[in-house]
Structure 1
Amino acid sequence: MFVKICGLSERVHVFDAIEAGADAIGLVLTASPRFVTPEMAKDLVAAAEERVLTVGVFRDEPVAEIERLAAASGVAAVQVHGHRSRAEIAKLTGIGRKLIRAVSFDDETLEENFGENMLLVDAPKPGSGESWDYAAMSELELADVRGRWLLAGGLTPDTVAGAIAAASPWGVDVSSGIETAPGQKSSELIRRFVHAARSASE
């Protein structure tokens, strides 16, 4: 089970995620309570020492700006939200970084393959932190990336095992579900989430 811990802004939580056994960390380089500057992101990438996949998270920025910020921060992958055309995705696959295309469950392109390395499927209300009908994912055919898709939206240390059982994802992604307040990560919740996700997939 691939586990991504998203929205980190402090070194201590990067270390927590790594020590717990996470596979990736997300650094939000777009407007958000979890926003980090390229300089902050670069420091967190350095702290990770390539022990996990470092992912820069973007929303509405144009491709050229994403490329600039990814280079400035040194992230190894970019995750893009919002409605992206095939042409945009094609350009992003050419910037020398892994690409995660994030879509909501009700996105009309959900079952299409745009050439991304991974697909992240979020709640119908992305970023809401609300749980949703995870079992509905088991009814879909996710084109050529069906084996490399991440489940997101409303996951917590207490709900992730049930969500994995219902949706059978390749991986999971969490942000607000490991916080005590918006943008405030909890070391204990990070450890509990990774353990619960790993245990559920054994």
Structure 2
Amino acid sequence: MTASGVSVKICGLSEAETAHVAAGAGARWLGFVHFAPSPRHLDLAAARALAPDLPPKGPERVGVFAGADTGTMAAFADILSLDWVQLHGAETPDDIAALRDRLGLKVMKAISVGGPADIAAAAAYVGAADMILFDAKPPKDSVLPGGNAVSFPWGLMRGHDSALPWLLAGGLTAATVSQALADSGANALDVSSGVETAPGVKSASKIRAFLMAAKAAKQGA
């Protein structure tokens, strides 16, 4: 499902209630983070407890990893019945192609953007990854590769000609959806901190508001 043409990923989910809210409000993807420093981290035991209560059908499920070994990713994928893995490490195109074959899952490669050269670097992943996520470079003092509530100049994406579909991430909120879409030309958005009341604490009302804003922005385009 999509928000009237704008595909939205609600990332960093850790509770069944907000996963159901996201699914019911039209999210295309539900993201689950396995990265210990993150306030959104799900260890394998927590993922196992959560899995039976997740929406059984609808949005695709994405596991988000940074530096995890293949065995851990495979275990997490099996527990949560993942459709995608999202990678925030230093993976090469060859690494991604090998992982994709081994896990049998689609791969979303995250790229940190500070300038046009970072966007251009995505071309190397054509034929390896299935999708690119363009996110802001983390602040220097952050241990998190994403979910830092910071954005990059969205206009850098305008006119980006890619053989791979892509999502825009970084500092998005319901209030900035319209501008982000207009500036970037994106057709897909990824949000985590922008639908929280505190780091790792998802808000049902903010999730609904974000998806409504995406739908309204597309209809008004």
TM-score, normalised on structure 2? Answer: 0.83
Q: For 1:167 and 1:103, how far apart are their aligned partners in 2?
A: 16
1:122-161 deviation per Cα after TM superposition (whole angstroms, max 9, x unaligned):
012242211220011114333x10xx20000000010011
Partners of 1:98 and 1:87 lie apart in 2 by 14
C-alpha displacement of 1:196: 0.5
What's the offset of the Cα at 1:88? 1.2
1:27 and 1:86 map into 2 onto residues whose CA distance is 23
Q: Distance in 1 between matches of 2:29 and 2:189?
A: 10
Residue equivalent to 1:111: 123
Structure 2 CA distance for aligned equivalents of residues 120 and 43 of structure 1: 28
Matched pairs, number: 199
User: In structure 1, what residue type is equivalent to 2:71?
Assistant: A
Give the superposed CA RMSD.
1.7
Cα distance change of structure 1 residues 43 and 53 upon mapping to structure 2, 3 Å threshold:
farther
Q: Name the SS of the counterpart of 2:123 in structure 1.
A: coil
| CA drift at 1:42 | 4.2
Shift of 1:79: 0.6
Which residue is 1:99 aligned to?
A: 107
Unaligned runs of 5+ in 2: 1-5, 139-144
Task: Answer yes or no: is the 8 Å Cα contact 2:135–2:151 preserved in 1.
Answer: no
Counterpart of 2:79 in structure 1 is: 72
Q: 1:198 aligns with which of 185, 190, 215?
A: 215
Residue 141 of structure 2 aligns with which residue?
none
How far is the alpha carbon of 1:44 from its aligned partner?
4.1
Q: Is the 8 A contact 1:111 1:140 kept in 2?
A: no
Equivalent residues in 2 for 1:15-164 (5 A)?
15-31=20-36, 32-46=38-52, 47-94=54-101, 95-106=103-114, 107=118, 109-112=121-124, 113-125=126-138, 126-127=145-146, 128-142=148-162, 144-145=163-164, 148-164=165-181
- CA shift for structure 1 position 39: 3.8
Q: How far did 1:56 drift? A: 0.7
Alpha-carbon separation, structure 1, partners of 2:187 and 2:89 = 22
Relative to 1, partners in 2 of residues 1:45 and 1:100: Cα closer, same or farther, differing over 3 Å?
farther
Q: Return the letter of the residue paired with 1:141.
A: D
Are the structure 2 counterparts of residues 89 and 177 from structure 1 closer, same or farther at C-alpha, using a change threshold of 3 Å? same
Q: For structure 1, which segment, 69-78 or 152-161, has the greater mean C-alpha deviation from structure 2 after superposition?
A: 69-78
- Contact kept in structure 2, 1:42 and 1:74, CA below 8 Å: no
- The answer (yes or no) to whether the contact 2:51–2:79 under 8 Å persists in 1 is no
How does the TM-score come out when normalised to structure 1?
Answer: 0.91
Which residue does 2:3 correspond to in 1? none
